[in-house]
Amino acid sequence: MATGTERSAGTAGEDRTRRPAAHRARSPFVPGMLRLEENAALDRAAERLEPVVRPLLSSPRIADRLRGRWLGHAVHPLLTDLPIGAWVCTSLLDVFGGPRSRPAAGGLLAFGLVAAVPTALTGTAEWAATEGGERRVGVAHAGVNAVAMGLYGASLLARLRGRHALGKALGMAGGGVLGVGGYLGSHLTLVRKVASRDPAFQDRPA
């Protein structure tokens, strides 16, 4: 797994981001994320997931495609826009659209569930190359997103049965859980720089 390159010394970006810790505002979420990275209990979940993931990546050709070698960098972050965008639009229609928007909301919800499959597969390929704290956060990220998908699936089923109020409630719950999963995913990509990339990018300073 390639990692991000450091900024060169003396740049304005480094001056802003490397101030002494005592002078930086610290997010209340930081201690929780550090504890999550150190939570050895998640290693057991990773060990159970490993045999499921291994066959998926047994072919180097498939693994390269899932990791976005053809694109030049990880394809997973790009694909996340599809289910997230569809589900956000579903919630907006649920809140503002009224009864006439039910078919569109249901269609977007179903599209999001379908789009979540390749999104999850590409994310799994990225996770397989991680270790330590990144691997633990990845397990939590996958678990939270699986719960969100379950809620959205239940929401779609409720709508198909004519129970639209329940479907809306389940969809909103799914959105809340998805927000947590998005935070964990952002931590991996933005903080820990978990993402495949072409070696040419790694060799060239940003």
CA 91/CA 168 separation, integer angstroms: 8
Contact by Cβ (8 Å): 197, 123: no
pLDDT of residue 3: 39
Output the pTM of the full model: 0.85
Model pLDDT, residue 76: 97
**105 closest CA partner among 45, 175, 16, 42:** 175
User: What per-residue confidence (pLDDT) applies to 156?
Assistant: 98
Residue 146 dihedral angles phi and psi, to the nearest 5°: -65, -40
* Residue carrying structure tokens 């990773």: 46
Q: What is the pLDDT of residue 206?
A: 62
Q: Buried b / exposed e across 177-186, counting CB within 10 Å, b at 16+?
A: bbeebbebbe
CB neighbour class for 20 (10 Å; exposed up to 12, middle 13-18, buried from 19): exposed
The total of other beta-carbon atoms located within 10 Å of residue 1's CB is: 17
Residue 200 CB coordination number (10 Å): 8
Give the per-residue pLDDT at 134.
Answer: 97
Q: What is the pLDDT along the chain (206 residues), one digit of tens a residue?
A: 443 333 333 333 334 344 445 546 589 999 999 999 999 999 999 999 999 999 999 999 999 999 999 999 999 999 999 999 999 999 999 999 999 999 999 999 999 999 999 999 999 999 999 999 999 999 999 999 999 999 999 999 999 999 999 999 999 999 999 999 999 999 999 999 999 999 888 777 76
Q: Which of these, 182, 204, 185, lies nearest to 195 by C-alpha position?
A: 185
List the structure tokens of 119: 């999104």
- Please report, as a single letter, which amino acid is at residue 34: L
Instruction: Supply the pLDDT for residue 16.
Output: 39
What is the structure's pLDDT at 170? 98
